[in-house]
């Protein structure tokens, strides 16, 4: 779920977890909330080839964000450190939430290395909480 975590805070209304926070980082909406309110976070789209890796917990490499089928926001783009919802080519709902490791302009120009550090994804421990809280 969260890498090297000491403390994870869950914010809920009744049994539904709506937001999470790792230590003193930003408060981040859960995927369930993003599915209900897609505009809550800016978004990026990966190509179909990246889906299985993301669902396995892998960070998102720049080529998966710049290839045919992928999409990054147009200029001025998003800044390094921005939390984003990750959508996949041909899919309606977000499959992950992550943090940009560089600006979207840098992702386009460098086009190698990790572009998005994964925070949570469909099928991880946080996603599993939706049915058990």
CATH of the domain at 49: 3.10.400.20
What strands, in cross-sheet order, belong to the sheet with 83-88?
43-46, 83-88, 96-100, 114-121, 60-61
Cβ partners under 8 Å of residue 84, min gap 6: 41, 42, 43, 44, 78, 97, 98, 99, 100, 116
User: Residue 2: inside a domain, yes or no?
Assistant: no
Least reliable range by pLDDT among 16-20, 27-31, 52-56? 16-20
pLDDT at 12: 85
User: Residue 1: inside a domain, yes or no?
Assistant: no
**Number of structural domains found in the chain:** 1
Least reliable range by pLDDT among 13-27, 64-78, 92-106, 108-122? 13-27
Q: How confident is the model at residue 44 (pLDDT cuts 50, 70, 90)?
A: very high
Measured between alpha carbons, how far is 93 from 11 in angstroms, rounded to an integer?
22
pLDDT of 2 above 50: no
pLDDT at 38: 95
Q: Report the predicted TM-score, pTM, of the whole model to 2 decimal places.
A: 0.88
Q: What is the mean pLDDT of residues 71-87?
A: 93
Residue 44 CB neighbour total at 10 angstroms: 26
Q: Contact 51/43 with Cβ under 8 angstroms? A: no
Give the range of the structural domain holding residue 48, as residue numbers without chain letter: 8-131
């Amino acid at each position: 779920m969260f890498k090297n975590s000491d403390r994870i805070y869950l914010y809920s209304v009744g049994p539904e977890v709506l937001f999470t926070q790792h230590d003193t980082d930003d408060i981040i909406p859960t995927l369930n909330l993003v599915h209900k309110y897609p505009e809550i976070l800016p978004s990026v789209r990966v190509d179909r080839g990246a889906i299985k890796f993301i669902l396995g917990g892998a960070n998102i490499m720049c080529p998966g964000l710049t290839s045919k089928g992928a999409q990054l926001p147009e200029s001025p783009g998003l800044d390094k450190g921005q939390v984003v919802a990750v959508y996949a080519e041909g899919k309606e709902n977000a499959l992950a939430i992550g943090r940009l490791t560089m600006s979207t302009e840098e992702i386009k120009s460098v086009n190698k290395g990790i572009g998005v550090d994964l925070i949570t994804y469909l099928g991880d421990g946080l996603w599993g909480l939706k049915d058990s809280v």
